[in-house]
Structure 1
Amino acid sequence: MPGIDECLLHAMRLPGVRGAALVDWTSGLALGTVGDAAGADHETAATETAELARMAAEHPTFAPAADEETAAREGSGAPSGSGSGKTPPIEDLVVTTRTCYHVLRFVETSFDSSVLLHLWLDRVEGNLALARLRMRDLTERLVLE
């Protein structure tokens, strides 16, 4: 099971990736970064990414409906390898600009955490569908200590 550095290096192997970061979305702290920063620097990008993630995660519009929560608890919606900890309210966010994609994947952990994987993709060279699938796999296997 990969740690932070290995997870980020695997993410950088995707076509069109310009940068990746693991971010605590409550504090805005970058836990690890690799590649180019989306914006001025990695710290600023982490802070701004966390702000967007908090808005989406804490807004009632994006909270799962009661029926979805019940289905997830009964086993049909829980990701494989997930622990018994806090389940992020949403799976991922995709922000599309004219030149790139920003994909934010919330990480489910066995303890109460608020971590996400941020992938910055070139729009011409990147494959959004492949990136989302690979990010799901990476975050399910990620080991945070």
Structure 2
Amino acid sequence: MPGIDESLLDVMRLPGARGALVADWVSGLALGVVGEAPGGDAEAAAAETAELARLAMESGTLAPADGAAAAGTGPASGGEGAVQDLILTTADAYHLLRFVVTGFDSTVFLYLWLDRADGNLALARIRLAGTADRLVLG
């Protein structure tokens, strides 16, 4: 099972990948970074994407809290109704966030900055999902 650095390098093999990171959506800290970062600052990219992740995970609409967490189906468990990923599209890029599901209360996500002209969004989502499933934290 790959760790953070190996997982990020694997994601960067995607056509059009410009940069990737693993971050904690509670603290906004980058746990690993590879490639470029939007705006040139990886720590700022981690903090700003963590804000998006936090909004999605704490949203009553996107991630309903109607007993789902207690039943093991909340965001951290990856159960039914849990937010799996976010996609933000700009004129020249896709920004993908994929939540890492663990047996404990995970607050980690993978972020990929993908060039829109050279990247394949469907392939990137599939690869990011697989990478998140295999990622070993710690």
**Structure 2-normalised TM-score?**
0.88
In the other structure, the counterpart of 2:39 is 39
Number of corresponding residues: 133
Which residue does 1:61 correspond to in 2?
Answer: 61
1:48 aligns to 2:48 (yes or no)? yes
Which residue identity does 2:77 align to in structure 1?
T
> How far apart are residue 40 of structure 1 and its match?
3.4
Percent identity of equivalent pairs: 60
TM-score computed with the length of structure 1 as normaliser? 0.84
Letter in 2 for 1:59: S
Aligned to 1:100: 93
Letter paired with 2:135 = L
Residue 6 of structure 2: SS of its match in structure 1? helix
CA RMSD of aligned residues (A): 2.2
The CA distance in 2 between the partners of 1:116 and 1:29, in whole Å, is 11
Deviations 1:5-48 (A, max 9, x none): 00000000000000000000000000000000122300000000
- Which residue does 1:82 correspond to in 2? none
Where is the helix percentage greater, Structure 1 or Structure 2? 1
- Give the CA deviation at 1:110: 1.8
Structure 2 residue 130 is matched with structure 1 residue 129: no
Structure 2: gaps (5+ residues): none
Give the 5 Å matches for 1:12-23. Answer: 12-23=12-23
